[in-house]
């Protein structure tokens, strides 16, 4: 049991941090707020991280209920989520900003809009479809485990948002240390990890939905 909880904890922490992608969110934040005053930038950081945290926590609490109301099985959602995360991971490997996170139109329109905290930073850059899908899948998997598993999920969300907050807060220092080439290397490595996680989601979903695939 302890081994299962440890594996689940590592899966939660790695998958949520990777899909939130604090470095990618930080670089987007820099490009959207380069002409704003420092006090406004700090307010945007606080608002964006707070909104994203609230969204993921609410989704984590109500995720199971949402699936039940819509009549969607966990296996179907896990497979669909795995396919979505696979697409995001592939775009990360090719060093592109995922279209599920931020479209070119949203980025262009945000350049002249000081209220960028909610859109597009909190949604969909930080708490995007991938993060929401991952949270719902993990909370449903935690249903058959102890209460500690639930705490691990929310702690992982908090850690991911905290990392994003501090990276945005010290964005000027980070951007001096990390160039576009280094960012692409890190992004590709994280993309490979995300692809592996997404494939595991699909495999698990298929084996539960079709036990014959597992040899039983």
Q: What is the DSSP letter of 212?
A: G
13 burial type by CB count under 10 A (0-12 exposed, 13-18 middle, 19+ buried): middle
Bin 21: left if φ > 0, else alpha if -120 < ψ < 50, else beta. Answer: left
Task: Dump pLDDT digits (tens) for 44-87.
Answer: 999 999 999 999 999 999 877 877 888 877 778 778 878 887 88
- The segment with the largest mean pLDDT, out of 98-102, 162-166, 207-211, is 162-166
What percent of the chain lies above the pLDDT cut of 90?
Answer: 23
Tell me if residue 139 falls in helix, strand or coil. helix
pLDDT at 13 over 90: yes
122 burial type by CB count under 10 A (0-12 exposed, 13-18 middle, 19+ buried): buried
Measure the CA–CA gap between 66 and 68, rounded to whole angstroms. Answer: 5
Task: Dump pLDDT digits (tens) for 115-151.
Answer: 688 877 888 789 987 888 889 888 888 877 788 999 9
Tell me the domain boundaries of the chain.
11-211
Q: What is the mean pLDDT of residues 29-58?
A: 89
**Phi/psi of residue 113, nearest 5 degrees:** -125, 120
Measure the CA–CA gap between 97 and 23, rounded to whole angstroms. Answer: 12
pLDDT at 103 over 60: no
Pick from 206, 190, 201, 210: which is nearest to 84 by CA? 201
Q: In terms of residues, how long is the chain?
A: 216
10 Å Cβ neighbour count for 204?
A: 18
Structure confidence at residue 3 as a pLDDT band (50, 70, 90): low
Token code pair at residue 145: 């485990």
pLDDT at 107 over 60: no
User: For 71-102, where are the alpha helices, taking DSSP H only?
Assistant: 74-93
Q: Are 128 and 194 in contact (CB under 8 A)?
A: no
Q: In the prediction, which pLDDT does 82 show? A: 82
Q: Are 21 and 100 in contact (CB under 8 A)?
A: no
């Amino acid at each position: 049991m302890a081994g299962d909880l440890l594996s689940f904890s590592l899966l939660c922490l790695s998958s949520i941090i990777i899909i939130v992608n604090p470095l990618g969110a930080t670089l987007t934040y820099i490009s959207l707020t380069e002409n704003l005053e420092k006090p406004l930038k700090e307010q945007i950081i606080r608002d964006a991280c707070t909104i994203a945290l609230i969204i993921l926590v609410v989704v984590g609490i109500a995720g199971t209920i949402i699936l039940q109301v819509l009549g969607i099985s966990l296996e179907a959602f896990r497979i669909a989520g795995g396919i979505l995360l696979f697409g995001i991971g592939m775009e990360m490997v090719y060093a592109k900003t995922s279209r599920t996170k931020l479209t070119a139109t949203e980025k262009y329109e945000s350049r002249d809009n000081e209220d960028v905290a909610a859109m597009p930073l909190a949604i969909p850059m930080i708490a995007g479809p991938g993060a929401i899908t991952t949270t719902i899948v993990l909370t449903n998997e935690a249903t058959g485990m102890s209460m500690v598993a639930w705490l691990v999920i929310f702690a992982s969300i908090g850690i991911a948002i905290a990392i994003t907050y501090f990276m945005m807060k010290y964005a000027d220092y980070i951007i001096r240390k990390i160039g576009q080439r280094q960012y692409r290397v890190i992004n590709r490595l994280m993309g490979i990890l995300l692809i592996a996680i997404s494939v595991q989601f699909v495999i698990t979903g298929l084996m539960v939905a079709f036990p014959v695939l597992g040899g039983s």
